[in-house]
Structure 1
Amino acid sequence: MTKSIEIPDCHYPREAVLIRPSAATPRHSLHLSNLDDQPFLRFSIRYLYLYRTAVDADLLKSSLARLLVDYYPLAGRLRARDGGGGEGGKLEVDCSEQGALFAEGHLDLTAGKFLEGSGRPNRSWRKLLYRVDAQSFLDVPPLVIQAIRLSCGGMILCTAISHCLCDGIGTAQFLQSWAQITAKPGAELPVAPFHGRHALAPRSPPRAAFPHPEFDTPPAREPPSLDVLAQVLQSQPLVPVSVTFTPAQILHLKRQCVPSLKCTSFEALAPHVWRSWAGSLGLPPSLGVKLLFSTNVRRRLSPELPRGYYGNGFVLGCAEAPVGRLVESNPRYGVELVQRAKERVGDGYVRSVVDLLEERRARPDLSASLVISQWSKLGLEELDFGEGKPLHMGPLASEIYCLLLPVVGDLHAFTVLMSVPQGAAEKFEHLLTGDSCTEEVNGGGGEGGGGGGRWHYK
């Protein structure tokens, strides 16, 4: 297992401050699309960056104030539409220039020490992001930032951006713009944000014309066996597993498809993680399990969404299979399921999702599903505020869903990070790094091996 590190308490030399746009911005209520307003997106996307050299906090704050002129909804506040509904109702953004929250801290820790234990987040890492004293999700500013100066002169920078306002592509767009104008104050923004959501308005009347297995099935159709996964996941403490796949190992996964099949790195790795997960949990072979993953729809719509579209521009792709067949089949089977799930997402499918969400508050079906979120290929690991690129980029926590993370210094490598029940962790790691990856895997299952058989492809 890869190492983890306990974070000491953070010292705050001054109170956190609200950073407001440096110039006047539009004052209005910003409508959220049905893709933005899904209940399962009511959380913040939290990133952690480690730098060898700290960036001056006043410079970070002044460039942030400049950037918030363009990204002004991030300086506003979420609220219930029409003054009612609470957190369960429809939301909008009150663009009121209240400001993003910025905290400065000091930590008795070196960048090198953190890097040694950066493979697996633990609960103590939550200290690295300023804790907002709020009564509800609506009271948390859409943008919270903490810059921590380390004892060696390095810096940990943590950001939390409300998922209701944007997706991973949007967070990357914002952070890359912030880094650029911090490093080069006179520079133009790489991409200007487009805040309007009218392109994703529901039809009148709404018509969900496609089946959508990614969402909850009606209760009358739910077999009792769906409780099995919940029982497994709740029976033991969850522990993080982190495995890095090199480009050579990704290529090896692709070559496992017999007969050969052209596929992307994601299409090869995602089903491999899915089958390893299903095979490690001891689930009944007849249980149907799903793989849910975000699919960018910006160029799948007709017309395409405007360049710089700053909202959630994804829907969930959904692959389904019985555990037994998923685990025992040649990898080509899982790859084809993922490819077909992606191919289904066209203009009509996206419109159907938007209309379904207009008709009812559908939620993703997590009863027997693995969710994969891809943070790689967004350029998140390239963020340079003027003192060099990060030594590490990743999340603040390991969750029950899977993250595909970028690897600093290797554009074509991926790190798989997720938490699984303690009793399944060794087997999950072993299956990830088994016969399907003949080369040694970095940071994965080097210690001990064992834990349950390897794949035998039929």
Structure 2
Amino acid sequence: MKKSIEIPDCDYTKEPVLVTPNGQTPNHTLYLSNIDDQRFLRFSIRYLYLYKRSVAPATLRASLSAVLREYYPLAGRLRAVGGDSEKLELDCNGEGALFVEASSAISVDQFLDGSQRPNKSWRKLLYRLDSQNFISIPPLVIQVTHLRCGGMILCTALSHSLIDGIGTAQFLQAWAHITSKPNSSLPIHPFHGRNVLKPRIPLQITSAHSEFTCHATQQPASSLLDQFLRCEELVPVSVTFTPSQILQLKKLCIPSLKCTSFEALAAHVWRSWAVALDLPFSLRVKLLFSVNARSRLKPELPKGFYGNGFVLGCAESAVEELVGSNERYGVELVKEAKESVSDERVRSLIDLIEEKRGSPDLSASLVISQWSKLGLEELDFGEGRPLHMGSLASEIYCLFLPVVGDFHAFTVLMSVPEKVAEKFEQYLKV
């Protein structure tokens, strides 16, 4: 398995500062959709970028202030509606994003050498706030860590209750654009409104929404799996798939079934996960993955919409069929789950959340979050593109990460129980 790197304590020589928009911005309350404020999205999306050369902190703060004039909700604060923590809204008060400077004794080469396997020490690269709860944390937190060789690590944390993966890429690209070309206009202007995703009156729940449904007959087995994943020591497994390896997976499904790279790889990871964990054949397992709903809605979401515009696709199978069948079986389930996402299904989900405030069933599920193909790895603040782009931490969710320099490659990063990590890695490798 690939080695990791232990991050020493960062040296904070300056106090954190709040960076506010550099001009007058609207002061109002922003409605958050039911997709935005789902409980399972109440965390920050945390990215890590490694650069060979540092950008002056004053330059980054100035450009951040400029981009926050456009993305002013990210300078606001979340709050519960009427004291009810079930529903959130955003106070667009311009309070500011938290910006932190630090330094570290490591070098770019040292970090790059162990960059494929995050560990808990990496969390030192993002300033930790003493907060009672998620709501009290600023929606945008940034730490710039200067390395001894002149490079830098940039870590960002963006509230998932306000923004999704596509939205984070849009915002970060806007920030980098203003930093490197301060006198130019943004290529995409943000669309802030979420009212297009309000529930219907009356509510109309017209779909089954299997991603929210737990089968009562298998609760004991799925509960044991959940306990196993939570109690065992988890270690990250990271495997990079080249375009030729992705093509190998896709060839297992042709000529009669055409599939995308994501569909082929998602099915392969799901099957490898079930085999490595040696799950009971009778257990029904799910694969949950984000599906961009922007163009599936009628009308489509406006260009520049950066809120949560995705829903979870849900493929489901008995373990016996998933591991006993060929790759084509899983790919067909993934394709079917993707294709089922329609305007009506999204509207039905919004109405379901309004009525029940439920959360997805994660007890016997593999969750994949797609970070590749968003352009996240192209972030250039004027000193070149990153040498590495990835996650600040490795959690139980599976991430499909971009590979710097190869748009068509994927890195799969996922934490699994230590006793099955090597087996999972071997099953993953094509």
What range is the shorter-chain TM-score in?
over 0.9
Give distance in 1, aligned partners of 2:104 and 2:202: 56
Residue 75 of structure 2 is matched in structure 1 by: 75
Between stretches 286-295 and 225-234, larger displacement belongs to 225-234
Please state if 1:421 is matched with 2:417: yes
Do the aligned residues in 1 keep the contact of 2:218 with 2:283 (CA within 8 Å)? Answer: no
**Which residues in structure 2 correspond to 1:258-337 (within 5 Å)?**
260-337=256-333
Instruction: For residue 214 of structure 1, give the secondary structure of its aligned residue in structure 2.
Output: helix
Give distance in 1, aligned partners of 2:217 and 2:342: 27
Deviations 1:77-117 (A, max 9, x none): 000112x11xx320000100100000001111110110001
Give distance in 2, aligned partners of 1:177 and 1:382: 12
Deviation, 1:227, is 1.7
Percent identity among equivalent residues?
Answer: 66
Deviations 1:388-432 (A, max 9, x none): 000000001111110000000000000000000111111111111
Please state if 1:152 is matched with 2:149: yes
Give distance in 2, aligned partners of 1:232 and 1:262: 36
Do the aligned residues in 2 keep the contact of 1:47 with 1:159 (CA within 8 Å)? Answer: yes
Do the aligned residues in 2 keep the contact of 1:216 with 1:362 (CA within 8 Å)? Answer: no
Do the aligned residues in 2 keep the contact of 1:19 with 1:100 (CA within 8 Å)? Answer: yes
Please state if 1:10 is matched with 2:6: no
Instruction: For residue 211 of structure 2, give the secondary structure of its aligned residue in structure 1.
Output: coil
Match for residue 105 of structure 1 among 97, 102, 105: 102
Residue 375 of structure 2 is matched in structure 1 by: 379
Residue 411 of structure 1 is matched in structure 2 by: 407
Give distance in 2, aligned partners of 1:225 and 1:422: 21
Residue 184 of structure 1 is matched in structure 2 by: 181
Letter matched to residue 144 of structure 2: A
Give distance in 2, aligned partners of 1:60 and 1:240: 32
Deviation, 1:186, is 0.6
Instruction: For residue 374 of structure 2, give the secondary structure of its aligned residue in structure 1.
Output: coil
Do the aligned residues in 1 keep the contact of 2:63 with 2:182 (CA within 8 Å)? Answer: yes
Do the aligned residues in 2 keep the contact of 1:290 with 1:370 (CA within 8 Å)? Answer: yes
Please state if 1:37 is matched with 2:37: yes
- CA 1:27/1:221 → structure 2, altered by over 3 Å: closer, same or farther? farther
- CA 1:79/1:276 → structure 2, altered by over 3 Å: closer, same or farther? same
Letter matched to residue 405 of structure 2: G
Residue 213 of structure 1 is matched in structure 2 by: 210
Please state if 1:396 is matched with 2:392: yes
Deviations 1:245-276 (A, max 9, x none): 00000000001126542111000000100000
Give distance in 2, aligned partners of 1:58 and 1:46: 22
Give distance in 2, aligned partners of 1:2 and 1:256: 28
Give distance in 1, aligned partners of 2:165 and 2:379: 14
Give distance in 2, aligned partners of 1:115 and 1:217: 42
Residue 122 of structure 1 is matched in structure 2 by: 119
Residue 134 of structure 2 is matched in structure 1 by: 137
Deviation, 1:225, is 2.2
Between stretches 340-349 and 227-236, larger displacement belongs to 227-236
Deviations 1:181-216 (A, max 9, x none): 000101111211111111111100111101101014
TM-score, length-scaled by structure 2: 0.98
Deviations 1:220-239 (A, max 9, x none): 56542222311331352111
Give distance in 2, aligned partners of 1:234 and 1:158: 27
Give distance in 2, aligned partners of 1:260 and 1:55: 51
- Count of aligned pairs between the two proteins: 430
Structure 1 runs (4+) greater than 3 angstroms displaced:
220-223
Deviation, 1:136, is 1.3
Letter matched to residue 316 of structure 1: L
Deviation, 1:298, is 0.3
Deviation, 1:134, is 1.2
Letter matched to residue 153 of structure 1: G
Give distance in 2, aligned partners of 1:320 and 1:134: 38
Letter matched to residue 398 of structure 2: C
Deviations 1:298-345 (A, max 9, x none): 000010000001210000000000111101101110000000001100
Do the aligned residues in 2 keep the contact of 1:16 with 1:101 (CA within 8 Å)? Answer: yes
Give distance in 1, aligned partners of 2:314 and 2:273: 16
TM-score, length-scaled by structure 1: 0.92
Give distance in 1, aligned partners of 2:96 and 2:52: 29
Do the aligned residues in 2 keep the contact of 1:232 with 1:281 (CA within 8 Å)? Answer: no
Structure 2: gaps spanning 5 or more residues: none
Structure 1: gaps spanning 5 or more residues: 438-458
Give distance in 2, aligned partners of 1:217 and 1:240: 27
Please state if 1:58 is matched with 2:58: yes
Give distance in 2, aligned partners of 1:225 and 1:21: 51
Deviations 1:358-407 (A, max 9, x none): 11111011010000000000000000000000000000111111000000
Letter matched to residue 23 of structure 1: G
**Which residues in structure 2 correspond to 1:217-228 (within 5 Å)?**
217=214, 223-228=219-224
Give distance in 2, aligned partners of 1:244 and 1:226: 30
Do the aligned residues in 2 keep the contact of 1:374 with 1:403 (CA within 8 Å)? Answer: yes
Match for residue 366 of structure 2 among 327, 349, 370: 370
Give distance in 2, aligned partners of 1:228 and 1:258: 37
Do the aligned residues in 1 keep the contact of 2:397 with 2:415 (CA within 8 Å)? Answer: yes
Please state if 1:247 is matched with 2:243: yes
Give distance in 2, aligned partners of 1:159 and 1:194: 21
Match for residue 160 of structure 2 among 154, 158, 163: 163
Give distance in 2, aligned partners of 1:16 and 1:36: 28
